[in-house]
Amino acid sequence: MKTLIFNGSPRKHGDTMALISEFINHLEGESMIVHAYDCNIQPCVDCRYCWENAGCYINDDMQEVYNYIQECDNILIASPLYFSELSGQLLAVTSRLQTYFCARFFRKVKPIEKEKKGGVMIVGGGDGSIENAYKTACRLLHHMNAGDIAPVVCSHNTNNIPAKDDIKALESSKNLALFLRGIL
């Protein structure tokens, strides 16, 4: 089993990573983490190459991610909330998924044959809503051919309780891994 994880947090040891770590502890197989703040992936520049061609004109680390998307079984999108949305850097990285949208709507082809399971983790201090971020993450997952999306994992009071101490969120992280393994 292969799992792709998009990590939208700038903090390698922060709340989002605490939940990702708990998730990975209960996952089987290999996983690849795309750290949005550390990777060499430029945002989409709307060059429209993908309107007529498969893939993307920009040659950076996203090429490896595209390959992994094709072969993986599961995809997780994990992000802190910024103004009730996924982090800006994660949105910049995932803007490169535009090639899948263009494949379907302009070129009339199915860009990813293998169906995946998906999951979403959202972490926030508590004064915003997770609704928009969750909808955005689900839209991204659908473009990567994730048809079966688990209930959201959320730690939404991290200003008062760190995610590593949020028992409900940690249990949800474990259950997400079990769902992707086909146990739940």
Cα–Cα–Cα angle for 101, 103, 108, rounded to 5 degrees: 115
Q: Which residues contact 54 (CB under 8 A, 6 or more apart)?
A: 99, 103, 107, 109, 111
Q: What is the pLDDT along the chain (184 residues), one digit of tens a residue?
A: 999 999 999 999 999 999 999 999 999 999 999 999 999 999 999 999 999 999 999 999 999 999 999 999 999 999 999 999 999 999 999 999 999 999 999 999 999 999 999 999 999 998 889 999 999 999 999 999 999 999 999 999 999 999 999 999 999 999 999 999 999 7
Strand partners, 3: 31, 74
d(CA 182, CA 176) in angstroms, rounded, equals 10
Q: Give the three-class secondary structure for 140.
A: helix
Paired tokens of 180:
């992707």
Instruction: Give the number of other Cβ atoms within 10 Å of residue 126's Cβ.
Output: 12
pLDDT of residue 184: 78
Q: Which residues contact 142 (CB under 8 A, 6 or more apart)?
A: none
3-class SS letters over 45-114: CCCCHHHCCCCCCCCCCHHHHHHHHHHCCEEEEEEECECCECCHHHHHHHHHHHHHHHHHHCCCCCCCCC
Q: How many CA atoms lie within 13 A of 136 on its CB side?
A: 24
> What pTM did the predictor assign?
0.96
Ordered domains of the chain (ranges, CATH) = 2-180 (3.40.50.360)
Residue 178 near residue 26 (C-beta atoms within 8 A) = yes
